[in-house]
């Protein structure tokens, strides 16, 4: 990973965790063109870097990310607006399809594009002060970085319509009840808990981890029969790996497995 980032903090941690910190605190980490470009570059580099096993996303200051930069949004036309949305969708899809687990540690406001970025991560946990919402209708637009689709898939059509039509926000405890996040902790505990989760995943079989993410992501939109077939194919791929044999042997021998990703 290079260090030529102005709006994104990049830190390599233990257990192969790459921490990416949105760093425009004076703008509540709003997604301007520069930050989007740096996220795209960081995701591309992380995918290609074998030292990176997982991604930890968080925000500097009191916000995770307050959404798109309104000043840039103001100048969009019909065509440039469509281009803007497709670019954001593509950047977030890079994270979602990286083949490495990612976790959004949501430390504060996650609104609009910020909520959409969090939803593109594999996992989400939140500080008890976090606030979530898709308030785009208040600006006369809709979520454009995948929010209408990921939100419905994560919390259900009815709740997605609730947030997207009213523009209201919800607190961390309601996000937990909805299944938008899997855990809520104090702000002081947030990053440590995120690191513990990702370090735990790093100890497991990497082929199986990648297959789980692929099958759930791709299988969601298939017929049940086709999704079952996809699952069976990946189960077979795992069974053909050295890691499967190591995992089974370690279980029988009552020792910790040492997976190699082969």
> Which long-range CB contacts under 8 A does 46-52 form with residues at least 24 apart?
46/1, 46/18, 46/98, 46/100, 47/94, 47/98, 47/99, 47/100, 49/1, 49/18, 51/12, 51/16, 52/1, 52/12, 52/16, 52/18, 52/100
- Determine whether 229 is an active site residue: no
* Contact assessment for residue 164 and residue 116, using Cβ atoms and an 8 Å cutoff: no
State CA 123 to chain mean position distance.
6
* Pure H helices in the chain: 33-48, 70-74, 78-96, 113-120, 147-155, 157-166, 172-178, 190-202, 206-219, 224-239, 242-252
Catalytic residue selected from 38, 60, 96, 116: 116
- Determine whether 183 is an active site residue: no
Catalytic residue selected from 136, 174, 231, 253: 136
- Catalytic residues, by residue number, are 116, 136
């Amino acid at each position: 990973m290079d260090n030529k980032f102005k709006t994104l903090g990049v830190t390599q941690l233990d257990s192969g965790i790459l921490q990416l910190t949105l760093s425009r605190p004076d703008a509540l980490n709003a997604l301007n063109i520069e930050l989007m470009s740096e996220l795209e570059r960081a995701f591309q580099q992380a995918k290609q870097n074998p030292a990176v096993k997982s991604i930890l996303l968080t925000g500097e200051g009191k916000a995770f990310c307050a959404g798109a930069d309104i000043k840039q949004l103001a100048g969009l036309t019909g065509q440039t607006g469509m281009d803007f949305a497709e670019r954001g969708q593509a950047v977030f899809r890079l994270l979602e399809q990286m083949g490495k687990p990612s976790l959004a540690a949501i430390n504060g406001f996650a609104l609009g594009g910020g909520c959409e970025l969090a939803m593109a991560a594999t996992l989400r946990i939140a500080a008890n002060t976090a606030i979530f919402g898709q308030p785009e209708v208040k600006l006369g637009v809709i979520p454009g970085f995948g929010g209408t689709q990921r939100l419905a898939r994560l919390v259900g059509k009815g709740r997605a319509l609730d947030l997207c039509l009213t523009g209201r926000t919800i607190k961390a405890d309601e996000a937990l009840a909805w299944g938008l996040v899997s855990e809520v902790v104090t702000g002081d505990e947030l990053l440590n808990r995120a690191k513990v989760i990702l370090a735990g995943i790093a100890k497991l079989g990497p082929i199986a981890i990648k297959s789980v993410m692929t099958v759930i992501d791709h299988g969601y939109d298939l017929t049940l029969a086709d999704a079952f077939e996809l699952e069976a194919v990946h189960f077979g791929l795992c069974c053909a790996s050295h890691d499967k044999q190591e995992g089974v042997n370690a279980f029988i021998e009552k020792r910790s497995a040492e997976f190699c990703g082969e």
